[in-house]
Structure 1
């Protein structure tokens, strides 16, 4: 599929009303792609019983982030070709990301029935376990998949994501090192490993990984956010360094305006400059405009704690906990 891959922050609303941000790679939209979508739709209108062009359309919609329409098209393809395993897996992943766990489980169950490859079967069992919230079962399944097919990177990336869920940085590093040994320029693995190295305190290796990230993907908003996260604790909030920090935050606000992390950065930029009221107000406004983001309330509570308003901070934490009670950091 043509197109330049770019990172995007996608805002998802789950059936409960809970709003979450997820970061992913999507294909950059272009005039050529829009023309391709129009052409594919015209072909499908003329030959509605076909499935190959419909699958091509579904894949394109998936890659540019139009997931609701992609779900419709993938279901149409499955009606015509129910044996296509990859289509079930793509559909299941979209439904899972959209918070439709029940529907995703049904799709994954069908995919498991269709699969004849042991490595793929264990991977699907891992996906099912993730949907069910059973991290231990997911770790077992993805580990078995990786041991059967050690050259398949997607098994290890899935495994590393579960290790993130259970806050096991050593597990993340152990999982990703084989990927980076083969491909040291794998951006996603570099990001995950950088975060894990910082947690375990291997600052020198983390710095080397981060330098690689800046060289490879300096414009990636996840890399810029981590640069800001380094600058704020170092109190680079005044003078020329402060201007650079503010410029980076402003840039991200324009790129990913719904990002809770960026609003937290802006709040603490003001707090560290001594403008406590202005910093807290940033997060107060964010939670007013986006009340269903649990981490908005979490960071709002932290900012109140850090400015000495402990009772109000506790109240905000309770709101975060009400929205997202299973999150370890909030708990």
Structure 2
């Protein structure tokens, strides 16, 4: 590795190695800056109000990191809050943070190699850090924004080890703080106390037994605080995240545990060119690759036997790091998914450290062999970097990611469901329906796929098929209010108002704060003349969701039906306070202020301003808006303007085939021609 490609004299300058390492990383992963929010990014950032305000920073410490999963990762949530405060909903800033964090993590790994493998020198340590930094495993935590908790975990874990190795009291306290932050970043940090034990073993003098009384006393004094902190963290997790059955984890077992230890070396030694996200066993398992890995392990074992006892402790310390840090995601307990590259990010440090230790011990004496190994090392890093660069395209956006996932797992529920949602947003409902059906083939009780399939069918007018899907959804999930609500929508479309009302009431019974169900029930009651019941439902809808704009409009209509004009005006003003740009609210408030049966509540000038705003934004051929604007001018005593505008409204209504509105315009014109204000219902 030390040939003439990167001379040690060049790399020995204080900041050059780290700056050069950061520059290479920046070049490899720069493509991420053009990518968007992808998959879990949408759940944790785009649609997560908690991270969109720094004022809610304390919530990061009392909520699960991901809905329905027992993950406690406040550091990740806090970092998203800071990014959102700086960048808003622009993905480029979040990707830039990931890139900078990966640079920092890789620089710390470089320092760790220098500290724990002093015989390697700067050049070996730099090559090792570069191998770690550009390996495709790293791409799986750099490209997806919400995989950054793995980077935070490495930063604080490696930083904690470096501080621990200083062996001073202030550094020890700082090391414990880093361990605490690592624990708050991602669960694999629980391995750090065990990694420190392995490192201590590697640094211990060859003639000193780790089981001696002196060694045991030192170990208790040195490592005890880390295990105490670990125990405290586990208690906090139990308090914040009580045990529950919501996890979507894959079952653990001896088989999956053993397969995990084959997945680790195969993926590190022979990574795939294409992204294979959360692969199944039959997808990643390759007899040919395992044979190559077996041969490599055999060769490494021979080298290790040749190098011992000189590097025995160091080598086993690095293997201990890798093993301990991998245990948390090696299917010892049920976990989110059985295998994925992101699980190997921290264990990879130990494997690279082990390889560096052997490489130094077996350093060729002849110059040409050293140069040849340097060329091979450079070629290996270049190949890994090219793979990582190429993987950026798979993380460009949701569609690219989900299609790549499905290319290797066409029957998986999550990517089919996710891609169906993407296609629906693009208006490709038939294609979306196909993927919803594929998702349900694998998981017939997948609630969201069944519900969204029914909604998509209903949107296409296939109401009978939609109703079948909703009935099937209720067979699996009889207590799901959204299904009852959507059944109500279909019944309403078919003219079964009583059946629709019953479904809305059932949805409300299951979820009393279901604002949409209350709003729709209120509309049905209003059409039946039960304004009192309608108003009650609209008020409850707004109590459940104070930002539900349509409910303000509907509440005002219900209040007008009761003759409560003052309250109706107040409801519309409240709605405009929430949504000042809403044209429907502005139009209805202008109508009441210009045409209210109670003349004491009319406000002509304000009605002109509101109706004028609506006409300017809705267009000068909006007959309804023009009719209200004419009434507002008449109320203000500006009858000439009222006549001009009502004539325009009449022509627009006739042109649009709105004959009822046209007749209303003719009646109003007669009043304005006689210099009379509007009379009649609002």
Q: Counterpart in 2 of 1:25?
A: none
Aligned residues: 264
Q: Counterpart in 1 of 2:623?
A: 263
Shift, 1:202, TM fit: 1.8
Q: Counterpart in 2 of 1:285?
A: 655
Instruction: Rate the CA distance shift 1:126–1:307 in 2: closer, same or farther, 3 A.
Output: same
Higher strand content, 1 or 2: 1
Q: Residue 611 of structure 2 is aligned with which of 240, 245, 255? A: 245
Shift, 1:236, TM fit: 7.6
Q: Counterpart in 1 of 2:185?
A: none
Q: Residue 76 of structure 1 is aligned with which of 435, 445, 448? A: 435
Q: Counterpart in 1 of 2:577?
A: 215
* 1:278 aligned counterpart, secondary structure: helix
Instruction: Rate the CA distance shift 1:108–1:304 in 2: closer, same or farther, 3 A.
Output: farther
Within 2, Cα distance between the matches of 1:267 and 1:104? 40
* 2:445 aligned counterpart, secondary structure: coil
Q: Counterpart in 2 of 1:133?
A: 495
Q: Counterpart in 2 of 1:274?
A: 643
Instruction: Rate the CA distance shift 1:126–1:75 in 2: closer, same or farther, 3 A.
Output: same
Q: Counterpart in 2 of 1:14?
A: none
Within 2, Cα distance between the matches of 1:4 and 1:302? 47
Within 1, Cα distance between the matches of 2:606 and 2:570? 25
2:473 is the counterpart of 1:115: no
Contact 2:474 2:480 in 1 (8 A): no
Shift, 1:283, TM fit: 1.6
Shift, 1:173, TM fit: 1.7
Shift, 1:89, TM fit: 2.3
Instruction: Rate the CA distance shift 1:109–1:184 in 2: closer, same or farther, 3 A.
Output: closer
Q: Deviations over 1:273-303 (max 9, x none)?
A: 113543211122333xxxxxxxx34423443
Q: Counterpart in 2 of 1:202?
A: 564
Gaps of 5+ in 1: 6-29, 288-295, 309-331
Instruction: Rate the CA distance shift 1:304–1:40 in 2: closer, same or farther, 3 A.
Output: farther
Contact 2:455 2:486 in 1 (8 A): no
Contact 1:40 1:57 in 2 (8 A): no
Within 1, Cα distance between the matches of 2:587 and 2:419? 33
Within 1, Cα distance between the matches of 2:606 and 2:477? 58
Contact 1:108 1:127 in 2 (8 A): no
Deviates more, 1:98-107 or 1:119-128: 119-128
Instruction: Rate the CA distance shift 1:282–1:98 in 2: closer, same or farther, 3 A.
Output: farther
Within 2, Cα distance between the matches of 1:282 and 1:195? 25
2:535 is the counterpart of 1:169: no
Instruction: Rate the CA distance shift 1:41–1:102 in 2: closer, same or farther, 3 A.
Output: same
Shift, 1:218, TM fit: 0.6
Contact 1:270 1:278 in 2 (8 A): no
Higher helix content, 1 or 2: 2
Q: Counterpart in 2 of 1:146?
A: 508
2:404 is the counterpart of 1:43: yes
Contact 1:127 1:138 in 2 (8 A): yes
Q: Counterpart in 2 of 1:101?
A: 463
Q: Counterpart in 1 of 2:360?
A: none
Deviates more, 1:144-153 or 1:209-218: 144-153
Within 2, Cα distance between the matches of 1:177 and 1:244? 25
> What's the TM-score once normalised by structure 2's chain length?
0.33
Within 1, Cα distance between the matches of 2:397 and 2:630? 46
> What's the TM-score once normalised by structure 1's chain length?
0.63
Q: Counterpart in 1 of 2:330?
A: none
Within 2, Cα distance between the matches of 1:178 and 1:99? 31
Within 2, Cα distance between the matches of 1:130 and 1:301? 30
Q: Deviations over 1:34-81 (max 9, x none)?
A: x6355346536734444423422333455x5x4x41453143222332
Q: Residue 225 of structure 1 is aligned with which of 587, 593, 598? A: 587
Contact 1:105 1:131 in 2 (8 A): no
